[in-house]
Amino acid sequence: MARLGDILIQRGFITEAQLEAALAAQGSERGMLGQILVKRGLVTIDHLGEALAEQYGVPYLDLVPQGVNPQVTRLLPELFAREHQCVPVGISGRDLQLAMVAPDDIEAICETELITGYTVAPVVALQGPVQAALDRGFDDRLVARQTIVDMKMADLESSEQRIERSEITDAAPEEEQAPVVRLVRAILMGAINANTSDIHLEPHAPEMRVRYRVDGELQSVMTIPNHIEEAVVARIKVMADMDTTENRRPQDGRLGVHEEGAKVNFRVSTIPTVGGEKVVMRLLDEGNRIFELNHLGLMPRDLKTIQGMIDKPHGMIVVTGPTGSGKSTTMYAVLSKLNAVSRNIVTVEDPVEYRLSGINQVASDNEHGLGFANALKYIMRQDPDVIMVGEIRDHETASTSIQAALTGHLLISTLHTNDAVGAVARLKDLGVDHFKISGALVGSIAQRLLRSICRECIEPAESNPTMLASLTRQPERYYGEVFYRGRGCKKCLGTGYSGRLPVFEVMSVTPAVAEAIEKGVPASRIREIASGEGMVELTDAGLEQAVAGRTTLEEVFYKTSS
């Protein structure tokens, strides 16, 4: 077989000197010869394609990844396709067009014919487009979109009949499953691969909207035609063991999918809206969750303060923050730290999101008289050492929790307040006396999750004096500091952010703070006392992360300022 360089020279596309320079650069530029020549502007894509077609004796395909049906791509296993750098791009009768970087790979051609049952018609394509087509083809969100297109061409009634036949056959080959089954699985798998925390399926006219919450922000993924949405919701209900005939009241359920040997669970919630049933699924990746205080991202000073709180034999610790700020994760980490054979730990949660070995977990159930307040009363008869209450939301739960903390139990719970000091005012609002709060409360932890700057496109950014002035009492401390932002790249999908990091405000109830609480002084005064004794406020904790280049000044402003 002729060498590519020789063919390019014979066709007059490059000179021998240019070829030698490109070959010498292969070691440092780490690319195939053709890619280096194109990159240097010595040959065009068309010229390279002509030469490759002559070299391998097969047609050249100017591969456009967006034009390849993802379900055709998936005729081959992903690992096999990537290893052999090949991608199925089309089917005609019993022939499969296979785009290959190396069409002389006879082993890959034979294996493809055995795997797919088609006769392979190889074509040569460039490495970059082949990789892009594989990336696109194995993106579950795109597979879901393609499945919707396929379903538009199918009769809905036959689809629903196939759902009934496949309700318990998730393990069947994907091509044998009903389109709606493939669609739901693709939505779930896409969420797992995108590191999503929640999936929202929202009924709107003329189409149902599907959104993923990634790094705390909702992103639109696809739309589902209205005539299909009932079948999609029904499939999810079947998987979550919910009542498929009931669509006039809210329901809760749980489903699990297996991904590469690991099981990922979803908590499912449905609620009727004027447009139909809205579904929200929260991803509970139990297999990858490690609840340890040391892994939460706490600053050493905060870790030391929290350790001092949980070392106390009794009292109340509250974790505050808005929904989705990581309060449950912090409580589970505290419980894991306390978990020991010598302690009886009991929780009451709504719902129980994660199973913790060695800890007795109770699911709150208001319909059967087991709400937080009642459950707490029954737990008190179970000889507990440590109690965790999912949330304090009413006077009865607050009073019972305070009583438990005052009678020799360590109680951990959550409150919806903006900061650590706000926990005191919230307990007052729920009808708890000042002196009881000062006697029971040992500490309060406020937290937020801030989006992290993408490390691939991080760059310096100008600070905003107005934002600084609203975040800290001493903005001049930060005037000389360099802040950062994400420019936006392919890895972060143009957002400039990738992942999240927590920031904390930890208030330990010292004697001075307890005295101020008992006297009923304003929250501003309690904050001053706590800050004087070492508490770092939430905004300052965020600014520390911004100066360190882990998040942006804007993110600190929007997530931590009241």
Residue with more model confidence, 138 or 238: 238
The alpha-carbon radius of gyration of the chain (Å, integer) is 30
Q: What is the mean pLDDT of residues 183-204?
A: 87
CATH code reported for the domain at 179-284: 3.30.450.90
- What is d(CA 453, CA 555) in angstroms, rounded to the nearest whole number? 10
For 243-269, what is each residue's pLDDT tens digit? 999 988 999 999 988 766 667 889 999
Token pair belonging to 284: 């509970």
Confidence tier at 150 by pLDDT (50, 70, 90): low
Token pair belonging to 42: 């010595």
Q: What is the pLDDT of residue 510?
A: 95
Asked if 132 contacts 65 with a C-beta cutoff of 8 angstroms, the reply is yes
Mean residue pLDDT across the chain: 85
Confidence tier at 1 by pLDDT (50, 70, 90): low
Distance of CA 509 to the CA centre of its chain: 34
Q: What is the pLDDT of residue 238?
A: 93
* Residue 66, pLDDT above cutoff 50: yes
- What is d(CA 443, CA 425) in angstroms, rounded to the nearest whole number? 14
* Residue 17, pLDDT above cutoff 90: no
The beta-strand segments (E) located in 84-175 are 86-92, 95-100, 119-124
At the topology level of CATH, where does 293-449+500-537 sit?
Rossmann fold (3.40.50)
* Residue 172, pLDDT above cutoff 70: no
Q: What is the mean pLDDT of residues 531-555?
A: 93
Confidence tier at 26 by pLDDT (50, 70, 90): low
* Residue 144, pLDDT above cutoff 50: yes
> Where exactly are the structural domains of the chain?
4-140, 179-284, 293-449+500-537
What are the start-end ranges of the H helices in 389-474? 395-406, 422-429, 434-440, 465-471
Single out the residue of 74, 67, 274, 310 nearest to residue 318, CA to CA: 310
* Residue 183, pLDDT above cutoff 90: no
Q: What is the mean pLDDT of residues 132-136?
A: 87
Single out the residue of 431, 418, 546 nearest to residue 481, CA to CA: 546
Asked if 314 contacts 441 with a C-beta cutoff of 8 angstroms, the reply is no
The dihedral through the CA atoms of 515, 520, 525, 530 has a sign that is positive
Residue with more model confidence, 282 or 45: 282
Which letter, b or e, does each residue of 29-56 get, where b requires 16 or more Cβ atoms within 10 Å of its Cβ? Answer: eebbbbbbbbeeebbeeebbbbbbbbbb
- Choosing among 3.40.50.300, 3.30.300.160, 3.40.190.10, 3.40.1050.10, the CATH entry for 4-140 is 3.30.300.160
With a CB cutoff of 8 Å and minimum separation 6, the contacts of 481 are 463, 547
For 424-471, what is each residue's pLDDT tens digit? 999 999 999 999 999 999 999 999 999 999 998 999 998 888 888 888
For 262-290, what is each residue's pLDDT tens digit? 678 899 999 999 989 999 999 886 655 66
* Residue 481, pLDDT above cutoff 60: yes
pLDDT > 90 fraction of the chain, expressed in percent and rounded: 44
Token pair belonging to 339: 């978990």
For 25, 181, 415, 426, the CA distances from 421, given in Å and listed in that order, are 62, 49, 11, 9
Q: What is the pLDDT of residue 176?
A: 41
Structural element, H or E, at residue 505: strand 497-508
pLDDT > 70 fraction of the chain, expressed in percent and rounded: 88
For 271, 339, 353, 372, the CA distances from 364, given in Å and listed in that order, are 19, 21, 12, 6
Q: What is the pTM of this model?
A: 0.65
Asked if 382 contacts 286 with a C-beta cutoff of 8 angstroms, the reply is no
Q: What is the mean pLDDT of residues 539-546?
A: 93
Confidence tier at 99 by pLDDT (50, 70, 90): very high
Q: What is the pLDDT of residue 168?
A: 42
Backbone angles phi, psi at 455, to 5 degrees: -75, -15
The region of weakest confidence among 70-74, 432-436, 519-523 is 70-74
Q: According to the per-residue pLDDT averaged within each range, which of 106-120, 383-397, 476-490 is highest?
A: 383-397
- What is d(CA 372, CA 363) in angstroms, rounded to the nearest whole number? 9
Q: According to the per-residue pLDDT averaged within each range, which of 26-40, 393-407, 478-492 is highest?
A: 393-407
Asked if 159 contacts 178 with a C-beta cutoff of 8 angstroms, the reply is yes
**Pairing label, strands 315-320, 441-453:** parallel
- What is d(CA 201, CA 223) in angstroms, rounded to the nearest whole number? 9
Residue with more model confidence, 488 or 493: 488
Domains 179-284 and 293-449+500-537 equal at CATH topology level: no
Residue with more model confidence, 48 or 348: 348
- What is d(CA 302, CA 314) in angstroms, rounded to the nearest whole number? 20
Token pair belonging to 356: 């913790």
For 5, 25, 33, 86, the CA distances from 20, given in Å and listed in that order, are 9, 9, 11, 29
DSSP 81: H
- Do you find a cis peptide bond into 70, omega within 30 degrees of 0? no
Characterise 512 by phi-psi region: left (phi > 0), alpha (psi -120 to 50), beta (else). Answer: alpha
The region of weakest confidence among 40-54, 427-441, 456-470, 472-486 is 40-54
* Residue 525, pLDDT above cutoff 90: yes
